[in-house]
Structure 1
Amino acid sequence: MNSFCNVKSVMRSMFSGFIAATVILISTYAIAETTMEKVKRTGVMTAGNSGSYPPFSVMEGKTLLGFDVDLANELGRRMGIKVKFEVIDFKGIIASLKAKRVDTLITAMTKTPGRAKQILFSVPYYDAGLGALTAKGSGILKPEDLTGKIVGVQLGSSGERYVRSTLGKKVKQVKTYDAILLAVQDLKIGRVAAVVNPIPVLRYNSKGAQLVTTPVWKRRAVGINTRKEDADLMAWIDKHLSAMKNEGFLERLDKKWFEG
Structure 2
Amino acid sequence: MNRLMTMIAAAASLAVGIGAATSAANAGAVLDKVLQSKTLTVAAGTDWGPISHLDENHQLVGYDVDIAKQIGKSLGVEVKFVTPGWDIITAGNWQGRWDVAMGQMTPTKARAEVIDFPAVYIWGAAVAIVHKDSKATKPADLEGKVVGVSAGSDTEAYVNHKLTPAWVNASPVEYQFKPGQVKTYGSANIAFDDLRLGDGVRLDAIANDEFQTDDAIKAGYPFRILEPALFYAPGAIAVSKDDKEFSDKIAAAMKEMKDNGTLTKLSIKWYGKDYSVQK
Query: In the alignment, which residue of structure 2 is the partner of 1:245?
Result: 258
- Alignment correspondent of 1:226: 239
Match of 1:51 among 43, 46, 52: 46
Q: In the alignment, which of 63, 68, 77 is matched to residue 67 of structure 1?
A: 63
1:133 corresponds, among 107, 129, 132, to 129
The equivalent position to 1:211 in structure 2, one of 209, 223, 241, is 223
Shift of the alpha carbon at 1:62? 4.7
Give a deviation string over 1:28-83, Cα, whole Å, max 9, x none: xx977611122122211111123231111123465322211111111211221112
Map 1:106-117 to 2 at 5 A: 106-117=102-113
1:131-180 deviations in Å (ceiling 9; x for gaps)? 11223474545543211211111111111111112679942221222221
Offset, 1:94: 3.3
After TM superposition, the score normalised by the length of structure 2 is 0.74
Partner of 2:213: 202
Who is 1:41 aligned against?
A: 36
* 3-state DSSP of counterpart to 2:113: helix
Question: What SS class does the counterpart of residue 221 from structure 1 fall into?
Answer: strand
The count of residues paired between Structure 1 and Structure 2 equals 232
Q: Tell me which amino acid in the other structure corresponds to 2:186.
A: D
SS in 2 for 1:216: strand
Query: Does the Cα contact within 8 Å between 2:140 and 2:176 map onto a contact in 1?
Result: no
Change in CA separation of 1:181 and 1:240 when aligned onto 2, cut-off 3 Å: same
Counterpart AA for 2:189: L
Aligned-pair identity (%): 32
**Is the CA contact (8 Å cut-off) linking 1:184 and 1:206 kept in structure 2?**
no
**Structure 1 CA distance for aligned equivalents of residues 27 and 260 of structure 2:** 36
- Decide which of 60, 74, 81 is 2:77's aligned counterpart: 81
* Greater helix proportion: 1
Q: Work out whether residues 48 and 105 of structure 1, in 8 Å CA contact, stay in contact via their aligned partners in 2.
A: yes
Question: Is the counterpart of residue 177 in structure 1 residue 173 in structure 2?
Answer: no
- 1:97 deviates by 4.9
Which has the higher Rg, Structure 1 or Structure 2?
1
1:192 aligns with 2:171: no
1:97–1:226 Cα contact (<8 Å) kept: no
The CA RMSD over aligned residues, in Å, is: 2.7
Q: How does 1:23-42 map to 2 (within 5 A)?
A: 34-42=29-37
**What's the TM-score, normalizing by structure 1?**
0.79
Question: In the aligned structure 2, how far is the partner of 1:33 from the partner of 1:174?
Answer: 41
1:127 is displaced (CA, Å) by 0.6
Distance 1:223 1:211, change over 3 A: same
**SS of residue matched to 2:229:** coil
